[in-house]
């Protein structure tokens, strides 16, 4: 039986002709991966969404803190606020806006602590079939949360 040839990735020294095999990884990333809706993400990142930079940063944190598709992020508000470098009150205000827009959904609690996760419309881990099933229980989120600040200020001056 002949041995099957295999392709290798190698660095070749052009002066000596010696080569050194470069190890291959099956997959370049470690840990869990999440699917994030690009179109909705860009809509939310735009100024037209009305999200403040802080609110958008909190939302992105929840996108990437998602480890399983249907479970809550089991972290206290103070721990999340500390990681994001903001006060617990500032985090609470941002979460309130995101919850009202259905971008974050309540996913459980313990005592007086409520746990949230990102809506499956924006971020999901799993197959397409499982994703389709997950969004059946939720209304689509708002991508326009409020009037952008520049426009709001202009309207106040006009009145």
What pLDDT, in 10s, does the model give residues 23-82? 766 655 555 666 777 888 888 888 888 888 999 999 989 888 876 666 777 888 889 999
Residue-wise pLDDT for 106-137, tens only, equals 888 788 888 888 887 777 776 777 767 777 77
Question: What is the average pLDDT value for the chain, to the nearest integer?
Answer: 78
User: For residues 17-55, b (16+ Cβ closer than 10 Å) or e, as one string?
Assistant: eeeeeeeeeeeeeeeeebbebeebbeebeeeebbbbeeb
pTM: 0.66
Half-sphere exposure of 43 (CA within 13 A, CB side): 13
* All residues at 6 or more sequence positions from 74 whose CB lies less than 8 Å from its CB, including other chains: 115
Residue 94 has pLDDT above 80, yes or no: yes
């Amino acid at each position: 039986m002949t041995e099957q040839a295999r392709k290798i990735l190698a660095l070749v020294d052009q002066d000596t002709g010696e080569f050194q095999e470069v190890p291959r990884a099956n997959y370049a990333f470690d840990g869990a991966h999440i699917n994030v809706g690009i179109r909705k993400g860009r809509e939310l990142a735009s100024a037209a969404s009305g999200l403040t930079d802080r609110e958008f940063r909190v939302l992105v944190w929840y996108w990437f803190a998602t480890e399983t598709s249907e479970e809550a992020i089991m972290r206290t508000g103070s721990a999340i606020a500390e990681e994001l470098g903001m006060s617990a009150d500032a985090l609470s205000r941002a979460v309130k806006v995101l919850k009202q827009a259905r971008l974050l959904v309540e996913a459980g609690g313990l005592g007086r602590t409520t746990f949230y996760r990102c809506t499956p419309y924006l971020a999901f881990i799993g197959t397409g079939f499982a994703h389709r099933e997950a969004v059946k229980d939720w209304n689509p989120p708002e991508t326009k949360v409020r009037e952008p600040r520049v426009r709001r200020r202009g309207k106040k001056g006009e009145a």
